[in-house]
Amino acid sequence: MTEKIAVEKKVLSENDKLAAEVRSQLMRHGVVALNLVSSPGSGKTSLLERTLAELNQELRLGLIAGDVQTENDADRLKRAGGRLVQPIVTGGLCHLDAKMITRVLPQFDLAQLDLLFIENVGNLVCPSSYDLGEDMKVVLISTTEGDDKPLKYPAMFRRAKVMVINKIDLLGTSDFDLERAKANARRINADLEIFEVSCRTGAGLRAWFDWLRGLVHGPARAVPPTMGA
Amino acid sequence: MHELSIATAIVETVLQEMQRRQLPAVSAVGVRVGALSGVVPDALEFSFQAIINGTPLAGARLAIEQVPLQGKCRNCGLDFSVQEFIFACPDCHSGQIEITRGEELEIAYLEVSS
């Protein structure tokens, strides 16, 4: 004879609880937090370098740079003028989780911060499962990848609010079709806000910067994302 | 592959439940894995079996219920099953779709032999 005992518990409830704590701390201080996700090499660090160069005097930016190994990205961001850069080396783990954010958050004086960028580990699969307490996920792809990326990683593109297509200066040198990439992304997520940029030439970045300014100065803060059902 | 982290979270939660409910052994752990949960069932099962040896859960089965994607159109209200991750209403073609099922990552039940 076997008996079933109902449990009904989210597997990641512990993570979600910590993420909710992070979120309420950030909200209390009016800090907007963006969780940047992409494959390795799409240009997350380059986008942040450009963003620092443009907005570092104007907004108070904090950066958390997650990497499997090395603090290279964090070092790049410091060289780009980042005053508040906190590396997280996961030591092989393929994603950041809320506990890691909880550990490094005390390094920041949240009262002195407008915008917190969390650069996740380069991976379009695993980070999609973990709420870090961010306002929204921003997913990057680049024109040197396949334009079917959104179809291959639907969970991530569905959970993101914003997509940045980087390396548009290289359009035409590969088979990447910009319109097809956008259509693929909108099939998964009709509400995605899309930016087309080149971190190398600076093309299209003005719209991205203005959008960030709007996030910080705008009256309506982003609605916290809902994770899972 | 983050299924090992997920399996570890499952095992930790179940061990807590066993202690709380004073269950000496569990023969199966029932979990729901949604199609959009970002978790691969086979990898989860493999990870689960790899880490339960030497714990009170040794020998337990992981019973995975895979939950397909279900959506509701915000425009016309149609409930439909989402195929191929295409979030568009089959009736009115709106892209404003609310996910009603398929993102689950939950421990549903424990099975004990009495």
Got the DSSP string for A117-182? EEE--S-SSGGGG---S-SEEEEEEETTS-TTHHHHSHHHHHHEEEEEEE-GGGTTSSS--HHHHH
DSSP A102: H
DSSP A93: -
Burial state string for A141-177 with b = 16 or more CB within 10 A and e = fewer than 16? bbbebbbebbbebbbbbbbbbbbbbbbbbeeeeeebe
A7 touches chain B (CB under 8 A): yes
Phi first, then psi, for residue A202 (nearest 5°) are: 95, -5
Q: What is the pLDDT of residue B1?
A: 80
- The band of A219, judged by pLDDT with boundaries at 50, 70 and 90, is low
**Kind plus residue range of the DSSP H or E element containing B105:** strand B105-113
Gap between the Cα atoms of A151 and A187, Å rounded: 8
A7 chain-B contacts, CB cut-off 8 A: 13-14, 17, 107-110
SS3 category, B63: strand
Angle at A225 between CA A142 and CA B92, to 5 degrees: 80
Q: How far is B91 from chain A (nearest CA, A)?
A: 15
Gap between the Cα atoms of B109 and B114, Å rounded: 15
- Counting Cα atoms < 13 Å in the Cβ hemisphere of A114 gives 15
Contact A7 B86 (CB under 8 A): no
Gap between the Cα atoms of B54 and A145, Å rounded: 44
Number of H helices and E strands in chain A, helices first, is 8, 8
B20 chain-A contacts, CB cut-off 8 A: none
Gap between the Cα atoms of A124 and A115, Å rounded: 23
Closest CA to B102 of B32, B36, B41, B40: B36
What tens digit of pLDDT does each residue of A81-135 get?
Answer: 998 999 999 988 899 999 999 999 999 999 999 999 999 999 999 999 999 999 9
- The band of A80, judged by pLDDT with boundaries at 50, 70 and 90, is very high
What tens digit of pLDDT does each residue of B25-49 get?
Answer: 999 999 999 999 999 999 999 999 9
pLDDT at residue A141 above 90?
yes
B110 chain-A contacts, CB cut-off 8 A: 4-5, 7
**Integer CA distances (angstroms), B44 to B4, B10, B27, in order:** 7, 10, 17
B97 chain-A contacts, CB cut-off 8 A: 190
Structure tokens that stand for A59 in this block: 């907004």
Nearest CB neighbour to B9, from listed A1, A14, A189 = A14
The arithmetic mean of pLDDT across residues A191-216, rounded, is 97
CA-nearest residue to A93 within chain B is: B2
Structure tokens that stand for A182 in this block: 């956008």
B104 touches chain A (CB under 8 A): yes
Query: Residue A8: left (phi > 0), alpha (psi -120 to 50), or beta?
Result: left
In chain B, the percentage of residues whose pLDDT exceeds 70 is 100
Q: What is the pLDDT of residue A222?
A: 45
Nearest CB neighbour to B2, from listed A6, A95, A151 = A95
pLDDT at residue A148 above 90?
yes
